[in-house]
């Protein structure tokens, strides 16, 4: 499969004389159509990395290739069209007075004629299931709906890559899952590469590959299918320990013999119930 992102030896410091690098010799590549989760503590360099990929920050050292094209002052405008970013707080990215206006905003900078614009805005709103809200005021929507509109505003530009920068962190558990399901759905229909920066273990587990950042460095690559087993390391990765593992740890402390391998919440419930009814 073709490489869509290639990052080579990227380094960045926010201050010239700062001995602590925000990015420290980071290299990785992403194949077209992959879903990559980037995890790590606040301050580990995740957001700095995301901002480098679309040229908001210019690295001190290293090179970035997007779709085989090197990111430079000349190519940055073109490359930004290929990368859509969705942030934590959608309110910061709303500009339009209605949902449709807001989604159309990105197109206005791209000399798209009116009919084409209307068509593409409609399509994008359909893709995220927000067609009924086209005339609504963005600020009156729920958190999950706002993120859907933000996603439509990105999809309308038909990007190849979407970066989700902690974009589900303000949503409740249900809203979070809906957003992830939506992105997964879109990937069935369009060739989208997804980079999700997250602290949410379920979001991380949904990825094809997991990159772990610490102190500006890319410290390890992990298989998302293994992460639930690693409860000790999860905290170090900036992720939450799943509830079933927390309960197992508490029960062990109290002298209850719980199974050593990871159980999902449902499995844990079944195990507890079985043990309770044995007596």
Partner 1 sequence: MAITFKGVTYDYQAGTPMSFSALKNIDLTVPDGDYLAVIGHTGSGKSTLVQHMNALLKPTSGSVTIGEREITSQTNNKDLKPLRKEVGMVFQFPEHQLFEETVKKDIMFGPMNFGKNEVEADQLADQMIDIVGLPENTADRSPFELSGGQMRRVAIAGVLAMQPRVLILDEPTAGLDPQGRTEMMAMFNRLHQEQGLTIILVTHQMEDVANYAKHVLVMDHGEAAKYGTAEEVFTDVEWLRANNLDLPIATQFAHQLTQRGANFTTVPLTTAELAQELARQLGGKRHE
Chain residues that interact with partner 1, rule: CB under 8 A: 14-15, 40-43, 47, 88-89, 140, 142-143, 166, 169-170, 172-173, 199, 235, 238-241, 243, 246-247, 250-251, 253-256, 265, 268-269, 272-273, 275-279
Q: Which is nearer to partner 1, 111 or 277 (CB)?
A: 277
Smallest gap from residue 53 Cβ to partner 1 (A): 17
* Backbone dihedral angles phi then psi of residue 121, each to the nearest 5 degrees: -65, -45
Q: Are 30 and 49 in contact (CB under 8 A)?
A: no
Question: 120 is written with which tokens?
Answer: 């593409």
Pairing of strands 3-12, 61-66: antiparallel
| Order of strands, sheet of 23-31, starting from the edge strand that comes earlier in the sequence | 23-31, 3-12, 61-66, 69-70
Smallest gap from residue 169 Cβ to partner 1 (A): 5
Q: Which is nearer to partner 1, 119 or 140 (CB)?
A: 140
Q: Which is nearer to partner 1, 12 or 193 (CB)?
A: 12
Q: Any residues with CB less than 8 A from the CB of 200 and at least 6 apart, and which?
A: 168, 169, 176, 239, 240
Q: What angle do CA 8, 50, 36 make, to 5 degrees?
A: 80
Smallest gap from residue 161 Cβ to partner 1 (A): 22
Smallest gap from residue 268 Cβ to partner 1 (A): 8
Smallest gap from residue 175 Cβ to partner 1 (A): 9
Euclidean distance between CA atoms 233 and 132, whole angstroms: 44
Q: What angle do CA 86, 121, 37 make, to 5 degrees?
A: 25
Smallest gap from residue 233 Cβ to partner 1 (A): 13
Q: What angle do CA 269, 272, 273 make, to 5 degrees?
A: 85
Q: Which is nearer to partner 1, 149 or 239 (CB)?
A: 239
Question: 36 is written with which tokens?
Answer: 């990559």
Q: Which is nearer to partner 1, 55 or 238 (CB)?
A: 238
Q: Tell how many helices (H) and how many strands (E) occur in the chain.
A: 10, 10
Q: Which is nearer to partner 1, 3 or 240 (CB)?
A: 240
Smallest gap from residue 193 Cβ to partner 1 (A): 24
Q: Which is nearer to partner 1, 83 or 171 (CB)?
A: 171
């Amino acid at each position: 499969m073709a490489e869509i992102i290639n990052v080579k030896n990227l380094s960045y410091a926010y201050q010239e004389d700062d001995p602590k690098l925000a990015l420290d010799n980071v290299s990785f590549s992403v194949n077209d159509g992959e879903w990559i989760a980037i995890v790590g503590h606040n301050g580990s360099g995740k957001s700095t990395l995301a901002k480098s990929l679309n040229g908001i920050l210019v690295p001190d050292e290293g090179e970035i290739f997007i779709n085989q094209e090197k990111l430079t002052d000349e190519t940055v405008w073109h490359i930004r069209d290929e990368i859509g970013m969705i942030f934590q707080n959608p309110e910061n990215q709303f500009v339009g007075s209605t949902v449709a206006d807001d989604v159309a905003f990105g197109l206005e900078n791209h000399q798209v004629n009116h009919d084409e614009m209307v068509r593409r805005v409609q399509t994008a709103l359909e893709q995220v299931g927000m067609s009924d809200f086209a005339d609504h005021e963005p600020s009156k929507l729920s958190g999950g709906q706002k993120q859907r509109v933000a996603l439509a505003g990105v999809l309308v530009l038909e990007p190849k890559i979407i970066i989700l920068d902690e974009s589900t962190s303000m949503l409740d558990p249900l809203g979070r899952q809906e957003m992830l399901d939506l992105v997964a759905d879109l990937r069935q229909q369009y060739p989208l590469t997804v980079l999700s920066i997250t602290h949410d273990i379920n979001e991380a587990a949904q990825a094809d590959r997991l990159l772990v950042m610490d102190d500006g460095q890319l410290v390890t690559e992990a298989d998302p299918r293994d992460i639930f087993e690693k409860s000790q390391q999860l905290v170090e990765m900036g992720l939450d320990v799943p509830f079933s593992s927390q309960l197992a740890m508490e029960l062990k402390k109290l002298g209850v013999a719980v199974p050593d391998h990871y159980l999902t919440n449902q499995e844990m419930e079944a195990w507890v119930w079985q043990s309770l009814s044995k007596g």
